[in-house]
Each structure stands twice: as structure tokens, then as C-alpha cells.
Amino acid sequence: MKTEKEKAQAGALYDANFDVALIQERDVAKMQCYTYNQLPPAAKAERETLLRELLGKTGQTFLIEQPFYCDYGYNIEIGENFYANVNCVILDGAKVTFGDNVFIAPNCGFYTAGHPLDVPQRNKGLEYAYPIRVGNNVWIGAGVTVLPGVTIGDNTVIGAGSVVTKNIPANVVAVGNPCRVMKSI
């Protein structure tokens, strides 16, 4: 029988609300986020060390401004020259992968989790988690929301305030709610 974590990794419905193992893993990540968010901005080495312990993979050069929040941390992979401004939230029930040279403006959220439309399933605390992938050389404007299962292609710009519900190809500017391609670049 699969664990709830294995179900989540397979993209199946899983119990995120009542599974003791997942709750404990989230508690560890939340404590690490809390500690990170309390560090002085000048404590750069300590901040970097803590993020390297929390995240699944990092490049050599990255900066995540405080505050930062995530569910597990180990499902987050960031490439080289990654920058996330204040109030970045990554709910990483599934993998969230960022390429190289990704710049994220303030108040952005990346949410891998969703809940069933079926009321009895939802009331049992079931959810699903689908991976999010962000390519290389991507700029994400302020207040962007990226939903489960989305891929954003290389060299793309996502305009401020967008809600990204479907895949966005490479080499475009995309904006809006729902986010749509406006032009090629």
C-alpha cells in the first residue's frame, strides 16, 4: 500500500490534512521558514545555509528575500542566479522546479495543491499535487499566481497580477486572468 507521500508524488489524491508523517514534514519546513524569516537581512551566510538545508536543490548563486514560505522545501529546486522578492509562497506538495536566471517579483505564489470538486472527498481532507516547472531566463511580475501542473517556458515574461492556469510557451509575454500569451519575444 502506498503512503500518502507516495500518492502525492504520483499525482493521485492523498490525505494532506490528517496524515501524521506529512504533518510532521510540514512542521519541520515551517519551523525552518520561521527561523529564516527571523534572521537579520545582513546574516547572508546563515540565510544561505538555512535555505540550502531546506530546499531540495539550489544553484551556487541565489537569493530569496524574507519573508518566504513553503510546505515541505525538499520539493523545491532552484537554478543558478535565482531571485525571489518578498512574500514568495511555494506550496510544494509536488516538485516546483525553477531554471537558471529566474526573477520573481514580490507577492507571488506557486501552488501545486488542489482539491477535488467532489464534496465528500474534499471534506475528507483529500487533495492532489501537480508539479510546476519554470524554465530558464523567466521573469515573473508582482502578484502572480501559478496553479498546479503549469509549465512556463524559457525566456518568458509573466505580467504582474496574472493567474497562470495553463502552460505558457517559451519566448512570449503572457498576462491576465487567466494568463494568455500577448506577444512573442
Task: Give the residue numbers marked as catalytic.
Answer: 115
SS3 50: helix
SS3 99: coil
Chain center to CA of 156: 17
* Cβ-contact 26, 72 below 8 angstroms: yes
Residue 65 is given by DSSP the state P
Is residue 31 within 8 Å of residue 72, measured between CB atoms?
no
Q: Per the omega criterion (within 30 degrees of 0), is the bond before 67 cis?
A: yes
